[in-house]
Amino acid sequence: MSESAAVSHPGNPRRRRTRGVRVGTLTIGAGHAVVIQSMTVSDTLNTEAVVAEVTSLVATGCPLVRLTAPSLRDAENLREIRRRLDAEGIRVPLVADIHFTPNAAVAAAAIVEKVRINPGNYADRKRFAAREYTDVEYVAEVARVAETLRPLVETLKLHRAVLRIGTNHGSLSDRVMNRFGDTPAGMVESALEFVRACESMEFREIVLSMKSSVPGVMIAAYRLLAARMDEAGMDYPIHLGVTEAGDGLDARVKSAIGIGSLLVDGIGDTIRVSLAEDSVHEIPAARAILAAVEEETGAGVGAGHDNLEGPEDSAGSAWWKSRTDPQPRRPSQPWVLGGLGIGGAFPVRVEARVVLPVGMPVTSSPATLLVETQGEAPEFVSVQPAGDAETRPSVIIEALDAFRLTFGPTGPALPLLLEWTFCGQGEVHLLEGALPFVDGLSLTITRPSGQRDEDRFRLLARLLLRARKPVRFRLPASAAAPGAIAAQVASLCRGEGLDTVGFLCAPGPHWIERTRDLTLGLTETMDPIFLEVPPAGPLAALRAGSMLLDGIGDALCLDPSIPATPWPAGGRTWSEDPVRSAWTILQACRLRLTRAEFIACPSCGRTQFDLQSVTAKIRARTEHLRGVKIAVMGCIVNGPGEMADADFGYVGSGPGKVDLYVGRDRVRQGVAEAEATERLVELIGEHGRWVEPGG
């Protein structure tokens, strides 16, 4: 794609221009390669364990490592860790992660290259107190915070270190919560209070982050942050991450949706995939997301590029700047496929695609699609006959009939769409013969290019209107301006009285850009939009999640016939079956909840128990609880605040001790770890949310 084309379309922004911030030998921002980072899970006071873990991370290619420093003693031990790393020839930049303890941050700033603080708890103790602040009181509180920050800023300046101001959803100060609520706006203001304080002290070596365990909240917060910085003339680089993502496929999908969507928007200079697994598993997961972004955009975010835009270059950012709040679902005209409602107020549907052998027995039973795990079966099927366009209608009908028989006499009759490439007027008669055996058509089309083409679309519309069958038009990857094509075809169909039409963009380069263009083209007709993405891997989650969280998409299909790059192996094993993965994406987007959701922090030196084994134990007991959100937090830092909207919480409160929460209320204190999982199950039951597995 040419530079001019990349700039002109609102769905394809260039990378946001930022200042460069030096972290040791690295530069974050200013068009440099997106920096991958990770965080150690070892106790920071255990020097041997930390050095071994950092060594392993560096060996995997991790260029920046963060360590927790919950106390002054931990912060001072960073010097010994640095000495040991230097002695072994490992000169990787280190970041100290600080909560609640400003004196630890000041000590760390003299040792490491970067310090991360959370503005919600650096100068405040969170009490979840409801209070009205007058403007005068609010200004006075901000001034107090700035003075608390001053010793850290002076130390950072002296040692030429960097500050990350890292806001987390759910851990905002009471001051910000009472004025802005637990919202993206509150998250952004929490960070900008600290930025303005730093600027008043002539300090600008700053990186910002807006993390949440909910990808939709995280995306909205980062977009709003970028927009507010542009308005204020700020150009600080941005660190991306979905916090408390959990483990396995669920965590990787959440991260691909949140991190990948923003990188496609041109936002983000450094990333971390936060997994409740060994830290070395985060690096290949992060690399896979960068590779997916590069495949989608054609821009080398992993290698650095100069395709940058400043605040004044608004054309490239128009799309995301109009979406700085969590997006409602796009209204669409509903239609019915064999009794199944699609679009309108109906939920986002899950589609399965099957290539159907023609002229030969069905060798692999499509009935395997109906294997249901906690309600995670497909809701309709698109069937593509294998063969050329000359295939006789009788053979297609025979194959369709055989396909239905594979469901068995007692199996559900899933609605069927017949896939076809619409090439000529003669095919209308072929399709007419097949219509009684299917519930609708899915036709791959190109732009009508003359009276003859328009006539055949009108003929098709009249046929479908008589048969009372809907049609989905599939725009191939080669189709330029899909929005204009869709608007033209929709107009031709409506001219004949057919308004049950839908559209999708076939997978290919710049799919997000093309689907956004399709959406804009359907502004008048509001026809349903179908999403079709690869069957596995980060690209599937990135593409589908990006659209769904912008409110776009009425059905989702992970097409097994499309080549896909799966996630790198690592951590808890998982299945990337296309249908189950589609449900995983919908769960991550909070659109269809078919299982429990686990908000699990990555382990670190503050963790009070073996987080990985505990998370696995809780998952085994509770995963069947549809729509229940359970937080597993290693310590009080990631406890009642950063659990954000969890229904129940399991929080380490001391060695071998656990506190249990309902929402943000602690209801059981000091429970022995050996009993805590069963006490959690009892608590879920007391609140009417427990059902037996299979119940």
Mean pLDDT of 42-71: 96
Residue with the two structure tokens 């974050």 = 28
So where are the chain's domains? 597-686
Q: Report the candidate in 258, 638, 281 with the shortest Cα–Cα distance to residue 271.
A: 258
Q: Identify residue 664 by its one-letter amino acid code.
A: R
Which CATH class name applies to 597-686?
Answer: alpha beta
- 117 φ, ψ (degrees, to nearest 5): -125, 155
What DSSP string describes 159-185? HT-EEEEEEETT---HHHHHHH-SSHH
- The predicted-structure confidence for 308-343, as pLDDT tens digits, reads as follows 554 444 344 678 888 888 889 999 999 999 999 999
Q: Each residue of 464-502: pLDDT tens digit?
A: 999 999 999 999 998 889 999 999 999 999 999 999 999
d(C-alpha 564, C-alpha 537), whole Å = 7
Q: Which helix (H) or strand (E) holds 598?
A: strand 597-600
For residue 568, the 8-state DSSP code is P
pLDDT-derived band at 429 (thresholds 50, 70, 90) equals: confident
Is the model's pLDDT at 418 over the cut of 80?
yes
Pairwise CA distance, residues 579 & 563, whole Å: 16
pLDDT in tens, 146-185: 999 999 999 999 999 999 999 988 788 888 888 888 899 9
Q: What is the mean pLDDT of the chain?
A: 86
